[in-house]
Structure 1
């Protein structure tokens, strides 16, 4: 019976591989072709019968295929990535990795082949554009070479350092506090930290948004409850998310929204590794890694008495700050192309994006960060009637904000050297300019990077 179940699982696995959008190519330890899926044949333009049982190195030497990574992997026993231009005009990013046996012998070389013809085409368009500088072209080329698995983009030095740090701390269980504006990808980083850990696929990753659940329900969701703990409780009781995350990771998003009463209980879990269900008297042992995230200033909340200082110190063992997208513009072009690629796959399209549109998008401030960028790329991809997305499909508010110079004219001198007075003069001018540019109060607050209530208060202060 188990043999039959394993056989069915194998059949299902090969069906999944065969249906992959990317090309999948497999050789043995001597570089002889073992398997390739239909997507690889389509991307490479090669014939399955011609490849069957042949040695890949010999095929390259004979000129039957332009190039391959697998022969280099067999020689070096290390992963290899190349951009290969196939004879029928398709360019592909090929990544090959060695697969070793328990005795260290090379058993297989696994290759993933991704069609990047569209990206190369965009690069060539931008090369001929006279209004784009060398740095901009460099970023576009970097987009082709960036690891693009659909979850994150690492092109800027600051993000590269963040993900290097994340990979290191994944090997320990210390609490992590991720801070940054809404939409920068705090949840993605939390998941990455978990996935980089040992045997991540066997350990749970549990996520909860502390602001999305009413205060009266949040405690029971986190800690669970015993049968009959309160009116309406299940007769069987319920396991809480902390228990579900045992031996894994609990990601607490928007930790700043957690009520003070629950902060005390969370602190106790962090300090002792023990907890009680609601209505329970039996101690529940937990071994869980806590990763918390927030877009609010917790230190300010501590001063205002809205967040516990001791909990902050327990969570802030490893602090990580993700800067907003406007402060790491090297990531913009790779992200634009990555999201375009995702949408083309999702909707079975072959849309391209014009250099002019890319230029507009790179001059926009992106107050909604990566989340806003992803949504706008999907918006343009779906609405564009032709294969090339041009300026008319850029949302009006984005185009206006991107093309409007947001400079503030300040006097050559001030009436005093008092920094507070100078800051107020400049702040008033910035808010006045932003209100005239962005229209609504909510839109203005978003672009200024402040809360709507803060903008209302400052507008009243300066009589604007």
Structure 2
């Protein structure tokens, strides 16, 4: 007998008073692991599947080891999943295979209490609200997890039918919160999630600071490779003469100065996972042909080796440059561009998706309030000031401003005047470097202009790599000039 006399005291409140589904569970003897006539299914659980049909609420049942015992027909209607493909399978397996974004049953088993969360059924695109309830045995151990499943409703209380777009706050494990209030960003997030299920190369394009790496991480986290490495390689940060050695590795003694034991390379470090090649436009032409071979044949040649090595890695690339223009100018291989651009994703600048500005500002504001343990509020007038700004530095500029406001502003309220003052100071810093001066001669004038130009670029861009690209010089050249003018 599954539910012995007196066992009801261990049940959640919502399942007491003789609920019909408890009677159904009682009759199925679902904890018998070798029921005669049962058919073995995926995983280590054998038994009869449970199907309850007399309710409009969906039910999902798992045992204390997270194996699926059954669902009812309402669950199948709500989610689009069939009980036969779920029965006997462990929830960890279903999450890993991207049936669900997360499992409330696993949360209940971990926390030992009822848990309610919104759940994304990734297999069908449906979104539902689920509540997992633990059922305890007489020793207080979790015997079952009974999960109720109901339609997800929007802010107006209306039922959301069919696949839904991304919410404006998308919580992603290993990534954090992704803000997607605008329709444009919802499409970006949903396109990234759809792209995750294949191994096709993805090319993410957009201005500096729009969040290309975040989108690349979404692709990785939603892919079957999520438990393998996510390797970020900024092509602009690697000197051209060292690019092939850093990316593809080398054999011992391959060149003067090489490590005695050799070097496996960054591609090899991403084995089984995702290789994110940021600023792909900066890859030297000499290395682009090797990168093309890696994508086409899944093999690479370490420096000093005549034998190819097989590699299993998914390529996601990103650029803030117009690659089509670079192809026309002969600075980027056309065949490599087409190989990378199998699944293109374009992230619009923040100025073109103004619906995201306030949700992003609120998210960053609360983030830094928690980080610095400060209590402040953002006034409606301040929000309007934020909304009217153009944000040439995109999300990164907005994030930096919100941190600055939290840390430096006096008082509890962040006013429109405070926001305007910080933005004006930012603009003033970027323009003062071009103020007229009276140099002694032309050589001195050129040096002063070069110094001001570099100083301006370092203030506008967050890294030396970005500044060097904007100035049209190599990063090592910029480093030398920084040392000359500012050290």
TM-score norm. by structure 2 comes to 0.56
The residue that corresponds to 1:156 in the other structure is 182
Q: Distance in 2 between matches of 1:280 and 1:175?
A: 26
Q: Report 1:60-71 matches (<5 A).
A: none
Does the CA contact (< 8 Å) of 1:170 and 1:196 recur in 2?
A: yes
Does the CA contact (< 8 Å) of 2:225 and 2:274 recur in 1?
no
- Larger helix percent: 1
Matched residue of 2:224: which SS?
Answer: coil
Correspondence list, 1:55-94, <5 A: 55-57=12-14
The question of whether the paired residues in 2 share the 8 Å contact of 1:155 and 1:331 is answered with yes
Tell me which residue corresponds to 1:323. Answer: 348
Q: 1:453 to 1:278 in 2, by over 3 A?
A: closer
Aligned-partner Cα distance in 1 for 2:147–2:409: 40
Q: Does 1:210 align with 2:248?
A: no
2:208 alignment partner in structure 1: 182
Question: Could you tell me which residue of structure 1 aligns to residue 170 of structure 2?
Answer: 147
User: Residue 199 of structure 1: CA displacement?
Assistant: 5.0
2: CA distance between counterparts of 1:151 and 1:395?
A: 27
Larger Rg: 2
Q: Secondary structure at the match of 2:179?
A: coil
Give me the whole-angstrom Cα distance separating, in 2, the residues matched to 1:358 and 1:157. Answer: 20
Q: Is the 8 A contact 1:344 1:350 kept in 2?
A: yes
Matches of 1:189 and 1:349, distance apart in 2? 30
Alignment partner of 1:107 out of 132, 137, 145: 145
Q: Which residue is equivalent to 1:240?
A: 265
Over 3 Å counting, the alpha-carbon distance change for 1:171 and 1:235 in structure 2 is same
| 3-state SS of paired residue (2:406) | helix
1:157-172 matches, within 5 Å, as: 157-172=183-198
Structure 1 residue 168, shift from structure 2 partner: 1.1
Is the contact between residue 170 and residue 180 of structure 2 (CA under 8 Å) also seen in structure 1?
Answer: yes
Aligned partners of 2:275 and 2:422: how far apart in 1? 38
**Structure 2: tracts of 5 or more residues without a match:** 4-8, 17-56, 61-73, 80-101, 105-115, 119-128, 135-142, 149-165, 428-454, 462-468, 473-487
**Distance (whole Å) between structure 2 residues aligned to residue 214 and residue 391 of structure 1:** 44
After TM superposition, give the deviation of residue 384 of structure 1 in Å.
2.2
Match in the other structure for 1:192 = 218
Q: 1:168 to 1:73 in 2, by over 3 A?
A: same
Secondary structure class of the residue paired with 1:226? coil
**1:86-143, Cα deviation, whole Å (9 max, x unpaired):** xxxxxxx965756699xxx962769xxxxxxxxxxxxxxxxxxxxxxxxxxxxxxxx9
CA RMSD in angstroms comes to 3.9
Indicate conservation of the 8 Å contact 2:117/2:131, yes or no.
no
- Change in CA separation of 1:166 and 1:309 when aligned onto 2, cut-off 3 Å: same
Alpha-carbon deviation of 1:358? 0.6
Q: CA deviation at 1:443?
A: 11
Q: Aligned equivalents of 1:328 and 1:292: distance in 2?
A: 23
Tell me if 1:259 matches 2:284: yes
- State which of 341, 357, 362 in structure 1 corresponds to 2:387: 362
Distance 2:133 2:277 in 1: 38
Residue in 2 that maps onto 1:26: none
Label 1:148 to 1:275 Cα distance change in 2 as closer, same or farther (>3 A): closer
* 1:346 and 2:371 matched: yes
Matched position secondary structure for 1:331: helix
**If the length of structure 1 is used for normalisation, what is the TM-score?**
0.58
In structure 2, C-alpha distance between the alignment counterparts of 1:198 and 1:345, rounded to whole Å: 33
- Kept in 1: contact 2:383–2:416 (CA 8 A): no
Cα distance per residue 1:58-88 (max 9 Å; x no partner): 89xxxxxxxxxxxx8868768999xxxxxxx
Aligned length: 308
Matched with 1:381 is 406
Query: 1:235 and 1:395, CA in 2 relative to 1: closer, same or farther beyond 3 A?
Result: farther
CA distance in 2, matches of 1:388, 1:350: 9
**2:225–2:272 CA contact under 8 A, matched in 1:** no
1:89 aligns with: none
Contact 2:251 2:262 in 1 (8 A): yes
Q: CA deviation at 1:339?
A: 0.5
- 2:274 is the counterpart of 1:249: yes
Q: Distance in 1 between matches of 2:347 and 2:58?
A: 35
Shift of 1:356: 0.9
Specify which of 286, 310, 313 is matched with residue 285 of structure 1. Answer: 310
Write out per-residue CA displacement over residues 153-204 of structure 1, whole angstroms, 9 at most, x where no aligned residue. Answer: 1111111111111111111000111100000000000010010012512x21
The residue matched to 2:288 in structure 1 has which SS?
A: helix
1:320 aligned counterpart, secondary structure: strand
